[in-house]
Amino acid sequence: MRRRPASTRTGASLVLAGAVAACAPASVLAPAGPIAAANRTILLNSLTIMLAIVIPTIVATLVFAWWFRAGNTKARYRPDFVYSGRIEMIVWSIPILVILFLGAIIWVGSHDLDPRRPIASRTPPLEVQVVSLDWKWLFIYPRQGIATVNTLVLPVGVPVRFRLTSASVMNSFFVPRLGSQIYTMNGMETQLNLRADKVGQVYGQSSMYSGDGFSDMNFAVRTVPVQAFGQWAGRARANGPVLDAPGYVALARQSQDVRPYSYRAVQPKLFEAIVAQRLKPAAGPKQGRGGDAHVSPGTPEI
């Protein structure tokens, strides 16, 4: 077998690496945590299993087309051919094996990556309460007593337990490099467990269309060392307004392209009141009517 020149192999590797790097900021193929890494493994394993039938099928199609061409006198013409047990076995066994392999991956993954399943760790999890609004994200840190809008700060190496709901229409919370998209629904609570293992900044988004301001409904996720997270929480407690029931009602009004800011204090059990609808749900997007421009009442994130 003839080997490709080293320069050709190196060039191909650089092109592939460049393509992956180009999509790395928000790519599921560049995981920054254990859940995203497991999701990528499932994706690649599924792709490999499916290619095991796709590639031979493509090759067989080309071989059959070449062998049974009109000019090939060696090809046997059998117009009365009806049945072959060997062909039937091949035709049915390969798809069955593919389904069994994919089913096994799905079965294992659906249990190991159950969104409600806590991540095994000696470190106590950080709880973050998430509320999707029109068209922004509210993040409440009940233990720290603070909240942020359109920015999420997480300590590296610490499991995070998200409790999620919607103040308006159904939405979808997704941080591709941390893994596991999950829906937020009005009057209901969903849960998600994630962990960031790398210091930096990753992209978070709404992955479900929810009206006029959907395109701006994204947020930055800053992953910082544990000590830096404590310092950030301390600074947040020193500035900004208090998020109480009247403040939440004002926040829930439709607004677009909201710059990140923080609240220095949060009314206790505010998230539970939103889930139980003791605070009136937002009206939701209306056809032909967009949100108003929003001036942030809080302290901008630095």
110-158 confidence digits (pLDDT tens): 788 888 888 988 999 999 999 999 889 999 999 999 999 999 999 999 9
Reported as a pLDDT band with limits 50, 70 and 90, residue 230 is: very high
Residue 238: C-alpha distances to residues 51, 60, 136, 145, 300 (Å): 56, 69, 23, 11, 13
Q: Are residues 133 and 243 in the same domain?
A: yes
Whether residue 206 lies inside any domain: the answer is yes
Reported as a pLDDT band with limits 50, 70 and 90, residue 22 is: very low
Q: Supply the pLDDT for residue 26.
A: 64
Q: Supply the pLDDT for residue 83.
A: 85
Q: Supply the pLDDT for residue 286.
A: 66
Residue 251 exposure: Cα atoms within 13 Å on the Cβ side: 30
At residue 258, the 3 state secondary structure works out as: coil
Q: Are residues 260 and 204 in the same domain?
A: yes
Whether residue 12 lies inside any domain: the answer is no
Averaged pLDDT, 242-248: 93
Helix (H) or strand (E) holding 103: helix 85-112
Residue 76 domain boundaries: 26-112
Q: In what order do the strands lie in the sheet with 200-206?
A: 151-155, 218-224, 200-206, 171-174, 182-184
Q: Which of 61-65, 245-249, 277-281 has the lowest mean pLDDT?
A: 277-281
Averaged pLDDT, 193-201: 94
Reported as a pLDDT band with limits 50, 70 and 90, residue 295 is: very low
Structure tokens at 91: 């035709």
Whether residue 224 lies inside any domain: the answer is yes
Averaged pLDDT, 198-222: 89
The percent of residues above 70 in pLDDT, for the chain, comes to 86
Which of 42, 38, 46 is CA-nearest to residue 197?
Answer: 38
Phi/psi at 182 (5° precision): -145, 150
Name 92's Cβ contacts closer than 8 Å, sequence gap at least 6.
none
Q: Among 65, 84, 112, where does a domain finish? A: 112
Count the domains in the chain.
2
Which of 191, 136, 193, 188 is CA-nearest to residue 165?
Answer: 188
Does residue 298 have a pLDDT over 60?
A: no
Q: Supply the pLDDT for residue 19.
A: 42
Averaged pLDDT, 156-161: 95
Per the CB < 8 A criterion, the answer to whether 212 and 256 are in contact is yes
Structure tokens at 126: 């950080």
Q: Among 79, 112, 145, where does a domain finish? A: 112
Does residue 163 have a pLDDT over 60?
A: yes
Phi/psi at 97 (5° precision): -65, -40
In angstroms, the CA 186 to CA 169 distance is 7
Average pLDDT, the chain: 84
Q: Supply the pLDDT for residue 270.
A: 94
Q: Are residues 60 and 154 in the same domain?
A: no
CATH number at residue 85: 1.10.287
In angstroms, the CA 64 to CA 75 distance is 10
Which of 159, 259, 150 is CA-nearest to residue 204?
Answer: 150
Q: Are residues 85 and 222 in the same domain?
A: no
Whether residue 118 lies inside any domain: the answer is no
In angstroms, the CA 64 to CA 56 distance is 12
Averaged pLDDT, 67-79: 85
Whether residue 68 lies inside any domain: the answer is yes
Q: Supply the pLDDT for residue 63.
A: 93
Range picked from 18-27, 224-233, 252-261 for highest mean pLDDT: 224-233
Q: Among 48, 78, 112, where does a domain finish? A: 112
Does residue 16 have a pLDDT over 70?
A: no
Three-state secondary structure along 39-74? HHHHHHHHHHHHHHHHHHHHHHHHHHHHHCCCCCCC
Q: Are residues 132 and 106 in the same domain?
A: no
Per the CB < 8 A criterion, the answer to whether 301 and 219 are in contact is no
| DSSP letters spanning 167-236 | SSS-EEEE-TTT---EEE-BT--EEEEE---SSEEEEEEE-S--STTGGG-EEEEEEE-HHHHHHHHHHH
At residue 4, the 3 state secondary structure works out as: coil
